[in-house]
Amino acid sequence: MKITIIGSGYVGLVTGTCLADFGLSVTCVDQDEQKINMLNSGGVPIYEPNLEALIQKNVSAGRLTFTTNLGKAVQQSKVIFIAVGTPPNHDGSANLKEIEEVALQIASSLNEYKVIVIKSTVPVGTTRKIKQIINKNQPESVIPAKPVLDPDRGAGIHLSSPSPLTGEHPQDLLPLRGGRIKVGVKHPFDIVSNPEFLREGSAV
């Protein structure tokens, strides 16, 4: 299975490296060309115990790659993690500009069913907002022909029925930990948002 991690900072790089070490094919994306060049040259822009060795191991095994080409990475992946920064505004609220820009780029690159995981730290309601952005801006070729119900209620993880393209349930794609799962929402993509999806404290 191919995974794309958008944002190669502390959260994204650690998450991507761990998923690659689980045996998945992972592409880490970042708009910072200097950072991607460093990673492709064997350097590591952050410090985390054992991270450098794990990156080298999985790059050598062909399971971990780095790029600035978000569109291509999205099209080649089944699961997309959004791990970009959400720094605080002057009033203390989260600045969602970067995550909204990423949602627009994902929308324009959709070519088939995807599972989109919000790994960034975001306020309540962000999942619904990102879903609206992607629904509004995705190519017509991946919009369902029939109208669908969207009972977005409560917290936890919201997953669709098995994909008509893959025949798989989103919860079968990755090991989910914690949170509640609701099944039955039909979209050409699914968004998962759960702070316990992966535990960074035991990531490496």
Q: Can you list the alpha helix ranges (DSSP code H) found in 48-160?
A: 51-60, 70-75, 97-109, 126-137
Question: Per the domain annotation, does 39 fall within a domain?
Answer: yes
Domain that holds residue 14: 2-144+188-202
The pLDDT tens digits of the residues spanning 49-97 come to 999 999 999 999 999 999 999 999 999 999 999 999 999 999 999 999 9
Question: Per the domain annotation, does 107 fall within a domain?
Answer: yes
Place of tokens 């039955």: 184
- CATH code of the domain containing 111: 3.40.50.720
Question: Per the domain annotation, does 162 fall within a domain?
Answer: no
pTM comes to 0.72
Place of tokens 């790994």: 119
Q: How many domains does the chain have?
A: 1
pLDDT for residue 189: 62
Question: Per the domain annotation, does 93 fall within a domain?
Answer: yes
Question: Per the domain annotation, does 166 fall within a domain?
Answer: no
CB 65 within 8 A of CB 59: yes
The pLDDT tens digits of the residues spanning 146-204 come to 434 333 433 333 444 454 444 554 555 544 444 444 444 455 566 665 554 444 433 33
The pLDDT tens digits of the residues spanning 134-148 come to 988 887 655 544 434
Q: Which one-letter amino acid corresponds to residue 178?
A: G
**Nearest C-alpha neighbor of 112 from the set 159, 88, 79, 67:** 79
Question: Per the domain annotation, does 66 fall within a domain?
Answer: yes
Question: Per the domain annotation, does 183 fall within a domain?
Answer: no
Question: Per the domain annotation, does 129 fall within a domain?
Answer: yes
